[in-house]
Structure 1
């Protein structure tokens, strides 16, 4: 079976899809076949390209994309499903889809919706429940600025409380001119969360032409994610 990696943010609009694309691009550059699974896409019309399609656009057409459910309003999947009259999504369905993809790919990336504990169904199941069924580690995507220490620590604590493995943290949008809080957070995140820093994706990376994105992606991620990025070197570049 392939490696399955769950990608969760500490919140919304923090670069989770671009990080997923960077991981896919780096794995592809290393010769691995990649699939991305988006269990629930919210806030988009049926004919609009969603997050999974954006990963394919950036990481390359060789990436397999699968979306399980789509809800038109930009809300938590459970709420969006109830308001639209559509069926909710169970962790078992997510796990089954990821397992199916794992039979034909080297790496399967399961990109959540918002944070780890966003509800997927009426029973209160979350992405964490799908990760448990899969026995898969979770990559945490966090912002750089104020508030990230608390949110990242809470996410790491929630994973540990559920007996789940957290692979590490990637900063989803590293500023071109980081302020003092961002630079201090860079050094403090590993200590506060107990998780290693595994990368920092520059802000605006999702707007790069896809060929440039693919060429640059390995330099944003650590060897644990098929990249060449070094946390120690990066900390030296941006001292607090």
Structure 2
């Protein structure tokens, strides 16, 4: 697994913190890691972007951002409004390949969901993943509504014959409601792929040292961690 694509079922589901957790766990397991942010939107030139945040939390990773646009919009729209060149899927694949030549693992973080458009031709993160033949991790929310968006994302991946490595809950609440506790069982069923972790809500606010120490316990062995889905399901069952 030289390249791993990280997508969300939508915005604000914990994708960046999950990417940082995977990076931290991989570094802790002795891997050299690069993080590639395909396009950063809604951030000024002097502000920290998602790739910077992953590097801050995970430590010891190479971080690369292909483009930055000021408006908090889909990359294609933000690029058009800024009068700048868009990031096309082939460029994402090329950049990932360049990083993979020098690192054990490259994490490619998208923008929003799988089919968010990056250019005027309708190019998406899914198109880039196809070019890379890379497995995909889907970051999903915990609560009501997540089953629909997760299944739609999984169906799109299967339709493209892309490997869905698994699902990670990007922000597991301190006091999960009934829907969240039921979704622990239902998410892998609708996705047709295993649940590979649950990142605690607020994890991104931890001190970097605490984040790095905690990350392996939030992720399954497939993602370089020690988290056990069956034990978690048993603790959270309604």
TM over 0.5: yes
Map of 1:171 onto structure 2: 169
Cα deviations by residue, 1:39-87 (Å, 9 ceiling, x for unpaired):
1000000111100000000001x20000000000000000001111111
Look up the match of 1:79: 77
Unaligned runs of 5+ in 1: none
Quick one: distance in 2 between partners of 1:120 and 1:163? Answer: 21
Which residue does 1:150 correspond to in 2?
148
Structure 1 residue 21 and structure 2 residue 24: aligned? no
Q: Which residue of 2 aligns with 1:140?
A: 138
SS in 2 for 1:87: coil
Q: Secondary structure at the match of 1:192?
A: helix
In the aligned structure 1, how far is the partner of 2:66 from the partner of 2:93? 11
Q: Which residue of 2 aligns with 1:191?
A: 189
The match for 1:36 is 35
> Counterpart in 1 of 2:53?
54
Q: What whole-Å deviation, never above 9, does each CA across 1:2-52 have from its counterpart, x for those lacking one?
A: 610000000001100000000000000000000000010000001111000
Cα distance in 2 for residues equivalent to 1:234 and 1:45:
39
Q: TM-score, normalised by structure 1?
A: 0.98
Please point out which of 196, 200, 203 is paired with 1:202: 200
Which of 158, 161, 167 in structure 1 is aligned with 2:159? Answer: 161
Q: Tell me the secondary structure at the aligned position of residue 190 of structure 1.
A: helix
CA shift for structure 1 position 128: 0.3
Distance between the aligned counterparts of 1:14 and 1:209, measured in 2? Answer: 21
Equivalent residue runs for 1:48-127 within 5 Å: 48-60=47-59, 62-127=60-125
- In structure 2, the gaps of 5 or more residues are none
Distance in 1 (alpha carbons) for counterparts of 2:29 and 2:101: 19
Offset of 1:191 from its aligned partner? 1.0
Structure 1 residue ranges, 4+ long, deviating more than 2 angstroms after superposition = none
Rounded to whole Å, the distance in 1 between the matches of 2:141 and 2:197 is 12
> What is the DSSP-based 3-state SS (H/G/I as helix, E as strand, rest coil) of the residue aligned with 1:155?
helix
Task: Report the count of equivalent residues.
Answer: 238
Aligned to 1:172, the other structure's residue is in SS state: strand
Per-residue CA shift, 1:103-157, capped at 9, x if unaligned?
1100000000000000000100100000001010000000000100000000000
Give, in whole Å, the separation in 1 of the partners of 2:214 and 2:34.
20
Residue 239 of structure 1 aligns with which residue?
A: 237
